[in-house]
């Protein structure tokens, strides 16, 4: 399966010397990602043909390794361009353009067994490689490593962890709202990256459709569509961070939609939201270890003022941008008067004004 056949397009780089090769030799191992079947097991071997590395005749497990390797590399490059770099604690074997701690490529282990925990990632401090573990869905038997949505979701967890907690810490998920926010961020990036970087099956309105073998709900309770009704006011009724996280993901999908309407370009609205969200996580790192949704709202507004110096934001003033974002937060119950008792689910007070 030649990797080049996958539908995928990076935004124009503009970063001198970037990107660099994904593979070092002839295996699923390189600067950004080391992927293997079994725990820290054997990578998949390819064959060099005319300067291209080709992976052929792989069995299902090997195809999963290859797929996870591919999408983790896409995620590395995507987040690098948005501003998650060596200095921010990103995941690379060698630090190339800025200075962090090297020696921590995303380390992916793919298991050919079913597990209730079929997709997870454990990121510790910068310089120590994170472990992404992917296995078969316990009911459908489908391999999570073959679902790009799951791979991107897990990779985003690792990004959130380093950015929102700080590169030498890893406690963004210390409190329920922080855990939920991380789930929402992961759903948002996974679905929007696939929808907007040209992979097939758009629009994407449910998360984990393939691995769950459920075209309507995917792995979640409800799809991210026009009927989505939950808001910040409902947080107290949630026990599971994935359910609560859908409120945060929907806030981001609606922000992208609102910004797209503001500039008359839906695609640009998504790119603006990606940038603001990434920047906002760096703002959170400055002061929070267990952020609430309202902390994250404030960080997002702070990332928008002044607007990032990126082409997507040209011609937009800070007040116009803030007004558009605030309107979405108000619709989701996170208006200026919303309150929260720390970052717990219970005790939130919504404000729709
Ligand atoms: Zn998750």
Domain with CATH 3.10.170.10 in the chain: 1-158+166-171
Residue 183: per-residue pLDDT: 96
Q: Could you tell me the CA-to-CA distances from 195 to 30, 204, 259 in Å, in that order?
A: 27, 6, 17
Domain with CATH 1.10.390.10 in the chain: 172-353
Residue 231: per-residue pLDDT: 98
Residue 50: per-residue pLDDT: 85
CA of 197 to the centre of ligand 1 (A): 21
CA of 220 to the centre of ligand 1 (A): 11
Closest CA to 287 of 338, 343, 350: 343
Strands 33-37 and 106-114: parallel
The first and second tokens of residue 262, run together, are 């503001």
Average pLDDT over residues 87-94: 94
The H or E element spanning position 49 is strand 47-49
Average pLDDT over residues 46-72: 85
Of the two residues 98 and 181, the one the predictor is more confident about is: 181
Q: Given pLDDT bands bounded at 50, 70 and 90, which one contains residue 13? A: low
CA of 153 to the centre of ligand 1 (A): 6
Q: Given pLDDT bands bounded at 50, 70 and 90, which one contains residue 53? A: confident
For tokens 């950015």, the residue is 163
CA of 51 to the centre of ligand 1 (A): 37
CA of 157 to the centre of ligand 1 (A): 7
Q: Given pLDDT bands bounded at 50, 70 and 90, which one contains residue 242? A: very high
As a whole number of angstroms, the distance between CA 205 and CA 283 comes to 29
DSSP 12: P
Residue 267 makes CB contacts below 8 A (sequence gap 6+) with 196, 260
Closest CA to 113 of 96, 94, 136: 136
Q: Given pLDDT bands bounded at 50, 70 and 90, which one contains residue 38? A: very high
CA of 75 to the centre of ligand 1 (A): 15
Residue 196: per-residue pLDDT: 84
pTM score above 0.75? yes
As a whole number of angstroms, the distance between CA 309 and CA 289 comes to 27
Average pLDDT over residues 110-134: 94
Average pLDDT over residues 201-206: 81
CATH of 172-353, one of 1.10.390.10, 1.10.10.10, 2.40.160.100, 1.10.3720.10: 1.10.390.10
Average pLDDT over residues 183-195: 95
Instruction: Report whether pLDDT(59) > 90.
Output: no
CA of 327 to the centre of ligand 1 (A): 27
CA of 323 to the centre of ligand 1 (A): 30
CA of 105 to the centre of ligand 1 (A): 20
CA of 176 to the centre of ligand 1 (A): 13
CA of 90 to the centre of ligand 1 (A): 19
CA of 162 to the centre of ligand 1 (A): 15
CA of 286 to the centre of ligand 1 (A): 23
Average pLDDT over residues 143-164: 95
Instruction: Report whether pLDDT(30) > 70.
Output: yes
Q: What percent of the chain has pLDDT over 90?
A: 75
CA of 156 to the centre of ligand 1 (A): 9
As a whole number of angstroms, the distance between CA 22 and CA 332 comes to 40
DSSP helix/strand/coil, 24: coil
CA of 121 to the centre of ligand 1 (A): 8
Strands 106-114 and 131-136: parallel
CA of 116 to the centre of ligand 1 (A): 13
Residue 1: per-residue pLDDT: 28
CATH of 1-158+166-171, one of 3.10.170.10, 3.90.190.20, 2.40.170.20, 3.30.2270.10: 3.10.170.10
């Amino acid at each position: 399966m030649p990797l080049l056949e996958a539908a995928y397009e990076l935004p124009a780089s503009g970063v001198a010397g970037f990107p660099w090769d994904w593979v070092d030799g002839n295996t699923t191992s390189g600067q950004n990602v080391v992927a293997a079947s079994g725990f820290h097991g054997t990578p998949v071997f390819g064959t060099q043909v005319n300067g291209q590395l080709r992976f052929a005749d792989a069995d299902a497990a090997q195809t999963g390794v290859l797929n996870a390797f591919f999408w983790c590399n896409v995620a590395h490059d995507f987040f690098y361009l948005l501003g998650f770099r060596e200095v921010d604690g990103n995941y690379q074997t060698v630090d190339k353009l800025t200075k962090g701690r090297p020696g921590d490529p995303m380390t992916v282990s793919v298991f050919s067994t079913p597990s209730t925990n079929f997709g997870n990632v454990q990121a510790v401090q910068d310089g120590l490689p994170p472990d992404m573990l992917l296995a078969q869905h316990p009911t459908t038997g489908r391999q999570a490593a073959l679902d790009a949505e799951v791979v991107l979701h897990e990779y985003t967890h690792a990004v959130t962890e380093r950015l929102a907690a700080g590169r030498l810490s890893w406690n963004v998920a210390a409190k329920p709202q922080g855990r939920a926010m991380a789930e929402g961020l992961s759903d948002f990036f996974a679905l929007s990256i696939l929808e907007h970087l040209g992979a097939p099956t758009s629009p994407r309105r449910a998360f984990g459709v393939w691995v769950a073998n459920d075209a309507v709900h995917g792995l979640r309770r409800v799809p991210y569509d026009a009927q989505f009704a939950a808001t910040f006011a409902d947080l107290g009724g949630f026990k599971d961070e994935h359910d609560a996280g859908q409120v945060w993901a929907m806030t981001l999908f609606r922000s992208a939609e609102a910004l797209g309407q503001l500039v008359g370009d839906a695609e640009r609205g998504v790119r603006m939201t990606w940038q603001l969200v990434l920047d906002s996580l760096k703002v959170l790192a400055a002061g929070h270890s267990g952020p609430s949704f309202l902390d994250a709202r404030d960080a997002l507004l702070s990332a928008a003022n002044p607007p990032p110096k990126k082409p997507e934001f040209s011609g937009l003033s800070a007040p116009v941008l803030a007004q558009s974002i605030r309107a979405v937060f108000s619709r989701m119950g996170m208006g200026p008067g919303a309150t929260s008792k720390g970052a717990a689910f219970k005790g939130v007070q919504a404000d729709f004004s």
